[in-house]
Structure 1
Amino acid sequence: MKKSVLMLLAATVLLTGLPAQATEQARQRREARDVRQDTRQESRDAKQECRSGLVGNADCRQEHRDAKQDGRKKAREIKY
């Protein structure tokens, strides 16, 4: 009898901790996604500005790639 009560109590403790962890992970995923999306748009805008100037297209592409990679790095830092 005591053993089943202890198992039930242990299961309850484990299950109550999971939703909080899942909520925190969901928040981190949303925040990371928002960072990536913002970075993409900023990078697109910067690339358009770059292409309208006198800089070569290859340089603009590299800046665009670097900006997107920085956004991915920030997102990873948020999640992990």
Structure 2
Amino acid sequence: MVESRSGIWRRTGAMLAAAGLLALSGAAFATNQSQQRQEGRNANQNAKQEAHSNKVDCRAANQQSNSQCRQDKRDTKQGGRQEKRDVKY
């Protein structure tokens, strides 16, 4: 009967240790994933700001038509979206 109690304690300890390791690995994964999401958001925001300032500069210089300025803005934002995808994966 004494052996069965110690066996229960060993199994309980092993299960607790396994659960602790699993929780730590999950927390590390979540932290890494959140950092990737943050980097992706930063890349996307930077692209939006760059696109906006480029369009303003384009219209101020009046070197191109407004539709061409819009297309440049779209291209810049699309580049930011692609950068975000590259960061996340």
State the TM-score, normalizing by the size of structure 1.
0.87
Quote the Cα distance in structure 1 between the aligned partners of 2:63 and 2:12. Answer: 76
CA RMSD of the aligned region, Å?
1.3
2:79 is the alignment partner of 1:79: no
Q: In 2, distance between residues paired with 1:63 and 1:23?
A: 35
Q: Give the one of 59, 64, 68 matched to 2:73.
A: 64
Offset of 1:3 from its aligned partner? 4.1
Q: What's 1:6 paired with?
A: 14
Q: Supply the distance in 2 between the matched residues of 1:19 and 1:8 (Cα, whole angstroms).
A: 16
Q: Which one has the largest radius of gyration?
A: 2
Residue matched to 1:34: 42
Whole-Å Cα distance in 2 between the matches of residues 33 and 4 of structure 1? 43
TM-score for both structures, normalised by structure 2: 0.79
Match of 1:44 in 2: 52
Q: Which amino acid aligns with 1:39?
A: A
Structure 1's unaligned 5+ residue stretches are none
Secondary structure in structure 1 of the residue aligned to 2:26 = helix
State the number of aligned residues. Answer: 80
Q: Which moved more, 1:68-77 or 1:12-21?
A: 12-21
Structure 2 unmatched ranges of 5 or more: 1-7
Q: How far did residue 74 of structure 1 move?
A: 0.3
